[in-house]
Structure 1
Amino acid sequence: MYKFLAVCGFGVGSSMVLKMTVEKVCKERGVECKVENTDLSSAKATKDIDAIFTSKELGDELKRTTNVPVFPIKRYMDQAEVGAAIDDFINSKSK
């Protein structure tokens, strides 16, 4: 089971939307995951996660401060965009 974070500035609004989209896409693909939504500073301190999904702006900072894959998402409700990011993550794990 993968552990993912959905991250926004305050860890409330947009990260919750992104969390729900990630969960839905994973379910459709048969990918077992646990998704938590959180704020930027908490995401930097979180351990034992497999990937982070966030905005482009926060993604750049998270890429510099964490050692897990970070996937910037432009449209949090866009299942195709989120699905492509999840596919990229899954493909990187199977190599």
Structure 2
Amino acid sequence: MLKVMVACGCGMGTSQIMKTRAQQVLKELGIQATIHHTSLDEAQSIANDFDLIIISEAFVKNFKVREKTKVVGLKNLLSKTELKEKIQALGISE
């Protein structure tokens, strides 16, 4: 099972919506996942505990992660289409 983290500035509203979008996209792709939502600050400190991190494109450069962890940066945090395209481009599977 894929361990996914979504993060926004405060880890409240936007990350909760991102979590819902990620659940929908991963289900469409047939990928089982557990999804955690949090703030960017917490996300940076626990990033290596996850297989996939979904954040704003503006913050990708701030994440130093192990090779196994993939980081998806989104221009539109609420776009299912963009998220699906980027997950497929990475070849992510269970």
* TM-score of the aligned structures, taking structure 1 as reference length: 0.84
User: CA-to-partner distance for each residue in 1:38-57, whole Å, 9 max, x for gaps?
Assistant: 11121122142101100012
Tell me which residue corresponds to 1:86: 87
Counterpart of 1:87 in 2: which secondary structure? helix
- Distance in 2 separating the partners of 1:32 and 1:93: 9
In the TM superposition, 1:39-50 aligns within 5 A as 39-46=39-46, 47-50=48-51
Query: How many residue pairs end up in the alignment?
Result: 91
1:66 matched residue in structure 2: 65
Name the SS of the counterpart of 2:11 in structure 1.
coil
Percent identical residues: 26
Aligned partner letter, 1:15: S
Q: Is the 8 A contact 1:7 1:38 kept in 2?
A: yes
Cα RMSD of the aligned pairs, angstroms, is: 1.8
**Structure with the larger helix share:** 1
Unaligned runs of 5+ in 2: none
Equivalents in 1 of 2:50, 2:5: separation in Å? 7
